[in-house]
Amino acid sequence: MSSRLNPYISFDGNAREAMEFYQGVFGGTLRVNTYADFGMAEAGENDADKIMHSMLDTERGLTLMGADTPPGSGYSPGNNISVSVSGEDAAELRSYWDKLSAGATVTVPLDKQMWGDVFGMCTDRFGITWMININQQG
């Protein structure tokens, strides 16, 4: 799989509803994971069914990702879209990370995460939030 770049939208507790709506608009396959699906007990009873990650892939090659704003984080309309770059070419993706994170505010260092992939998040010097995800095979 080659690397792909797509929008990642944060929602204020209605990610499932929004992503199902977008599926109705664009068609395709929607995959949804809650905080409970990832065993995040610290999310709390009220947040267990909130969406930690969802991805809509369409037959036309469109990809849209979304999630509910993480527990304890503030939701800020207008600042709720990030850019995700993901794939399996670790060298290519690490190169993007190195360049994007230089002089940036790193929110999540590029490292192996609980879902098994290597992931990092930063806000570059222009105020754009980037998420790099290196898919781990196997």
Mean pLDDT over residues 70-91, rounded? 84
Classify residue 136 by its DSSP letter.
P
Within the chain, strands assigned E span 4-11, 29-34, 51-57, 63-68, 81-87, 105-112, 118-123, 129-134
**pLDDT class of 131 with cuts at 50, 70, 90:** very high
Task: Calculate what percentage of the chain has a pLDDT beyond 70.
Answer: 93
